[in-house]
Amino acid sequence: MLNQHSFEELIQEYHPIIYKICRVYSSNEDFDDLYQEILINLWRSYQSFEGRSKVSTWLYRVALNTSLTYQRNTKKNKSHTTLHALPDIAEEDNGITDKNEQIEQLYLAISQLDKNDRSIMLLYLDEKSYDEIADITGLSQSNVGVKINRIKKKLFQILNQRTNG
């Protein structure tokens, strides 16, 4: 039915999604381990994917579930990177510093959310519809909307604390 060649194409197409999930659910030290674990679980479940949902929905579910399990099993909360651990982007490249710094700050703020809120925010940032987010997370569509509004407020508070504190 499905073959290795199409699996490789699938991974190439969805690499940005997997990368973002790993970035939020891991530290620099265990990024590669989590990425590999996600690929292994995708490969294991690839043959049984029946197409009842979108490929992206299936991939998100596998990647997010793998990330949550991986985090539980590491026994350390490695997802909270301190600002001191970041390289000083301002000294490296003045051309894109502001944009890169904003993105880095956003990912740091997202990493401070609880695991379910992180999942929802990643899907939202990937411009998934409330319906798709509901399908992937198992929440109702209206609950997704409420959670997204609450998460945005939390992120705003976290980002304000960083800039003002």
Q: Tell me the pTM.
A: 0.64
5 plus 59 within the same structural domain: yes
Rounded to whole angstroms, the Cα distance separating 68 from 115 reads 7
Q: Which domain holds residue 150?
A: 89-165
User: Does the pLDDT value for residue 151 go beyond 90?
Assistant: yes
Q: Which of 77, 99, 123 is the last residue of a domain?
A: 77
40 plus 72 within the same structural domain: yes
Listed in sequence order, the DSSP H helices in the chain are 4-25, 31-46, 55-74, 89-92, 97-111, 115-125, 130-137, 141-164
Rounded to whole angstroms, the Cα distance separating 16 from 130 reads 20
Q: Which of 42, 77, 112 is the last residue of a domain?
A: 77
Tell me what pLDDT residue 14 has. 92
Tell me what pLDDT residue 1 has. 43
More confident residue, 86 or 132: 132
pLDDT band at residue 27 using 50, 70 and 90 as cut-offs: confident
In a domain, 159, yes or no: yes
Rounded to whole angstroms, the Cα distance separating 120 from 147 reads 8
Which CATH number belongs to the domain containing residue 45 in this structure? 1.10.1740.10
Q: Which of 20, 51, 77 is the last residue of a domain?
A: 77
In a domain, 6, yes or no: yes
In a domain, 25, yes or no: yes
Task: Express each pLDDT in 75-121 by its tens digit.
Answer: 544 434 333 333 333 334 434 457 777 778 888 888 889 988 999 99
123 plus 53 within the same structural domain: no
Task: Express each pLDDT in 47-57 by its tens digit.
Answer: 888 888 888 88
In a domain, 61, yes or no: yes
In a domain, 12, yes or no: yes
User: Which among 1, 2, 70, 89 is positioned nearest to 31, based on CA atoms?
Assistant: 70
Are 68 and 23 in contact by the 8 Å Cβ rule? The answer is no
pLDDT band at residue 165 using 50, 70 and 90 as cut-offs: low
CA distances to 46, 102, 107 from 92, in Å? 41, 15, 20
94 plus 164 within the same structural domain: yes
In a domain, 160, yes or no: yes
In a domain, 24, yes or no: yes
Tell me what pLDDT residue 35 has. 94
Number of domains the chain is built from: 2
Average of per-residue pLDDT across 142-164: 89
40 plus 110 within the same structural domain: no
Share of the chain above pLDDT 70, in %: 82
Mean pLDDT taken over the chain: 80
